[in-house]
A and B are shown apart, each in its own frame.
Chain A
Amino acid sequence: MLIVLSFNRSGLPTAWGGFSLHWYQELLQNRALLNAAINSLLVAGGSTLVSAVFGTLLAMGLERIARNLVLDAFVFLPMIIPDIVLAIALLSFFTFVNMPLSLVTITISHIVFNIAFVAAIVRTRLSYFDNTLEEASLDLGAPPVKTFFKITLPLILPGIVAGSLLAFTISLDEFVIAFFTAGPARPTLPILIYSMVRFGVTPDVNALATIVLSISALLILISQRLGGTEGFF
């Protein structure tokens, strides 16, 4: 429905005025929306990058060093608890440490749950990983760090990419936590859309939503394909 309406020339939800990319053109001229989109990409990109690195390390630690159910539950808590609870907790934290709300605070907040998503997916990948491959590499003369980059990393990379794509998508669409931890000056896309929608659904919002929807769907599709266990590349 939304997708169809985004191509509706008339701009009215009730009448079909013919196929048109008019609203997409309109969208490109809306500076506020574009800025918000850039903000969202920054938050999603930044939090994903950090989460990819630390989520992977976390997964390796959980799988290799500390196999512990309580620790597991603790790490994956941010995936399970309601967004609103996490949002309030983070807001109080930022207030407590006297950190002004900005894109940085949103990014930090997103890292909190994105790490958990990346770690969860990388861990599944790691559980299929044959540790004798690392031993073979050590045995053939490659020290541990080199072994990690030559053997371990390439083999779990699909898991890391899958986890990162998922994290990126979630971060891009995330509203509740971003809303609570966003500064007044630079809203992310979902926040801006929310404020626009309060004054009625305009056709350019339809267009925007369609774009976001397609990107998310695409990323999730890719992430699912990579997350599978069979076939390395």
Chain B
Amino acid sequence: MNAWKELIRIEDVVKRFGATVAADRVSLSIGEGEFFALLGPSGCGKTTLLRMLAGFETPDSGIILLDGKDLTNIKPWKRPVNMMFQSYALFPHMTVFDNIAYGLRQEGLSSAEINRRVEQVLELIGLPELAKRKPSNLSGGQKQRVALARAIVKRPRVLLLDEPLAALDRKLRVEMRLELKRLQNEVGIAFVFVTHDQEEALTMADRAAVMKAGKVMQIGTPEQLYNAPANLYVARFIGEANVFSGRLENGADGWLVNANGNSYRVSEAEVQRTALGRGAKVAIVVRPERMMIQPCESDRASQPLNLVYGRLLESAYLGNARTFIVQTEDDQRLSIQTPAADFAPSLSIGQQVCIGWKIESGILVPASENGDSKGED
């Protein structure tokens, strides 16, 4: 992708359905040719946002711009935007060819041109031999491709995808992630897709917006969302998180977080990045793969590590890795992941263990700001 150039701009959009707020002052920009994910649990308003882009819902307030032009009063059939529906919504009384040609026929193109473009897109999705089939004679994966072909054949400025992979079985889903990414690269259209699956969002999206109850909690690249979550909600939603909440203090040898009577050190860089100050309610988030685990015979606390002591509850072998669940002395459960080769046999269930993480592995997030005020589980 070349230099980022704004294509869609959503500004302060609000949408209510009765008492529920589906979009609560949502503002975000999507770039040309970008693969953008709207990520969140069901009911967070991500689909509503997508439907507003398609024109099936109108915002109560706020504006949506495409190429700098206001889309608000443009009807769905006049927008240079196409959508791939979760149910695919293939027309059952038409063949694959007619389904794909449907949108082109609305543009009044010559039949030669329509033939050419349909054949081209069938080639692109790798199903040229299925043109004469009815949708009821297609497999799930084939339907998905045809639905995609039907939406991109019109060469929209933006393609909207509503849970594009949800209806496929797991193996196909993983394959289609890469396939979608390849297609998006080839056609160069901006893709905006809705998903509740964070793994899907991380693997496919250039950037993602994490949503909760109609609000955007954070927008960023997958790396930013994982390594620098803006708040606890994002930290917990993207990947697994071990959380230590407390107040930020400025100790003799650097910054500390006091949590449940224990002090954990946190790097200067993190404090600067988050611009949090003394006394702030914060949490340290440590990813499972950033934690180390070992039997607790060595001397306590000497390395530049934060240490926690606990009892090993579970251990699971995953082939490429091993996960451990540990109950700490202050009754918190931690999840630790190590490469499978390390320590494998030497730890047994019920054993006292020592868990540590490097100070710079701890991610600092505000504990209450922007949503997750419930704090600890």
Q: Which A residues are within 8 Å of any B CB, using their own CB?
A: 130, 132-133, 135-143, 146, 150-151, 154-155, 232-233
Q: Is B150 an interface residue (CB 8 A)?
A: yes
Check A155–B154 contact: CB distance below 8 A. Answer: no
Q: Give the CA-CA distance A143 to B74 in the complex, in Å.
A: 12
Stretch with Cβ within 8 A of A (4 or more), from B38-46, B86-94, B177-185: B86-94
- How many whole Å from A198's CB to the nearest CB in chain B? 51
B130 to chain A, nearest CB (A): 19
B83 within 8 A of A: yes
* A142 proximity list for chain B (CB < 8 A): 77, 102, 106
B56 contacts the other chain (Cβ, under 8 Å)?
A: yes
Chain A residues closer than 8 Å to B150, beta-carbon distance: 136, 140
Considering the complex, give the chain B residue whose CB is closest to the CB of A143: B77
Cβ-defined partner of B89 (8 Å) among A135, A143, A155, A233: A135
A-B contact pairs, 22 of them (CB 8 A): A130-B87, A135-B85, A135-B89, A136-B83, A136-B150, A137-B102, A138-B77, A139-B76, A139-B77, A139-B82, A140-B77, A140-B82, A140-B151, A141-B107, A142-B102, A142-B106, A143-B77, A146-B106, A150-B102, A154-B93, A155-B92, A232-B93
Interface contact B154-A140, CB-CB below 8 Å: yes
A53 CB to closest chain B CB (Å) equals 21
Q: How many whole Å from B350's CB to the nearest CB in chain A?
A: 54
Report B's interface with A, CB cutoff 8 A.
54-56, 75-78, 81-83, 85, 87, 89-93, 102-103, 106-107, 150-151, 154
Q: Give the contacting residue for B91; candidates A141, A151, A233; CB below 8 A.
A: A151
B89 touches A132 (CB 8 A): yes
On whether the beta carbons of B85 and A141 are closer than 8 Å, the reply is no
Residue in contact with A136 in the complex, picked from B81, B85, B93, B154, CB distance below 8 Å: B85
Is there contact, CB below 8 Å, between A140 and B103?
yes
From A133, which residue of chain B is reached at the shortest CB distance?
B89
CA–CA, A133 and B85, complex, Å: 9
Q: From A150, which residue of chain B is reached at the shortest CB distance? A: B102
Least distance between A158 CB and chain B CB atoms (Å) = 10
Q: A130-B87, A135-B56 are in contact. Are A140 and B102 (CB under 8 A)?
A: yes
Smallest CB–CB gap between A54 and chain B, Å?
24
A133 / chain B contacts, CB cutoff of 8 Å: 89, 91-92
Residue in A closest to B134 when the chains form the complex, CB atoms? A232
In the complex, chain A residues whose CB is within 8 Å of the CB of B76? 135, 138-139
Contacts of A232 in B (CB 8 A): 92-93
**B89 pairs with A130, CB closer than 8 A:** yes
A136 in contact with B91 (CB, 8 Å):
yes
Q: Within the assembled complex, what's the spacing in Å between the Cα atoms of A137 and B92?
A: 12
Q: CA–CA, A155 to B92, complex, Å?
A: 8
Complex Cα gap A150–B77 (Å): 14
Q: Which single residue of chain A is at the shortest CB-CB distance from B153? A: A140
List the A side residues contacting B107 at CB < 8 Å.
141
Chain A hits for B56, CB < 8 A:
135, 138
- Cα A142 to Cα B103 with chains together (Å): 8
CB-based nearest B residue for A231: B136
Residues of B within 8 A of A141 (CB): 77-78, 103, 106-107, 154
- Does B91 lie within 8 Å of A139, measured CB to CB? no
Residues of B within 8 A of A233 (CB): 93
Beyond A130-B87, A142-B106, 4 extra complex contacts between A and B, CB < 8 Å:
A135-B54, A135-B85, A136-B85, A155-B93
Cα distance A154–B91 in the bound complex, in angstroms: 10
Contacts of B87 in A (CB 8 A): 130, 132
Report the minimal beta-carbon distance from B63 to chain A, rounded to whole angstroms.
21
The 8 A-B pairs of least Cβ separation, nearest first, read A141-B106, A140-B103, A136-B89, A132-B89, A138-B76, A139-B83, A138-B77, A141-B77
Q: How far is the CA of A138 from the CA of B77 in the complex (A)?
A: 5
| B residues in contact with A139, CB < 8 Å | 54-55, 76-77, 81-83, 151
CA distance A142 to B98 in the complex (A): 14
Complex contacts, A140 vs chain B, CB 8 Å = 77, 82, 102-103, 106, 150-151, 154
Q: Which residues of B contact A135 (CB under 8 A)?
A: 54, 56, 76, 83, 85, 89
